[in-house]
Amino acid sequence: MRLEFRPGNLLLAEEPKGNYVVHLEGVTVLETHSRNRAVAKFNSIRREMENHFPPQKQTPEEQAENFRKLVNDGLVGPYSKRTRKKSTAKGTRTFGGQGMAGGESDPHHFDFDLDRGIRAQVVEKLEASPLLPLTKGTGPHASGIYALYFEGQPQPVYIGKASRGTTKSKRTLRARLTEHVSKISAAEYREAGSADPL
C-alpha cells in the first residue's frame, strides 16, 4: 500500500514488516499496525494541506500519462518484476532456427512482453469506462478491475480487482465496491469524532 500527496511531500507506505508509516516532508508522523488509523491520519493531513496546495489542472496528455504510470506501477507492476526461468528448449524463443553461432545477436529473436500487452489493454479499458458514483450497489455481479478516485481528482487513488472465480471469497465487483463504501463511511465517521492533532 502506498498513498502520496506530492505537493505537500506527504506519504503513507506499508513497510515489509507490516507497519504503516505516514511521513510528512521526510519526518515520520505516525507508525502503526492499523491500516485504518494510518489512512485516517494521512487523509486528515492531506485535507489540511489541500488548502495550501490547490489542485492544478493537468492537460489530457498529462492525465493519460499519469494514469498509465499508476496502472503500470500498481496493477501488474509487481508481477512483471518476477524472475522468469529461461526456457531450456532450443530454438523455441527465436523465429527461424537455433540462433547464430559465436554469441552474435540474432536479428530474428523476439521476446513477447505479455505484461506490457496486458497493461496497455487495462489502461485503454479503464480510461474508456464511465465514472460512476461510489455508492452501495454500484458495479456488476462479475469479476473485473476497478479504480477509485477522490472527488474532482483526475487520477485514481486506488486500483483493485475482484476475482469471483479464482478466490475463496468469491466477491464480485459490486461486493468489493460496497466494501469500499462501508470502509470509507466508517473511517469518515471515526475521523469526524476524533480531534487527532498533527
Q: What is the pLDDT of the chain when averaged over all its residues?
A: 75
At 20, the pLDDT band (50, 70, 90 cuts) reads: very high
Average pLDDT estimate for 185-195: 68
Gap between the Cα atoms of 40 and 37, Å rounded:
5
Q: How far is CA 28 from CA 6, 13, 20, 23, 53, in A?
A: 16, 11, 11, 4, 21
| pLDDT value for 142 | 86
Residues 111-161: tens digit of each pLDDT = 667 777 788 888 888 888 888 888 898 888 888 888 888 887 778 888 888
| Residue 196 clears pLDDT 70, i.e. is over it | no
| pLDDT value for 55 | 67
| pLDDT value for 110 | 61
Tell me how crowded residue 13 is: count the other CB atoms within 10 A of its CB: 15
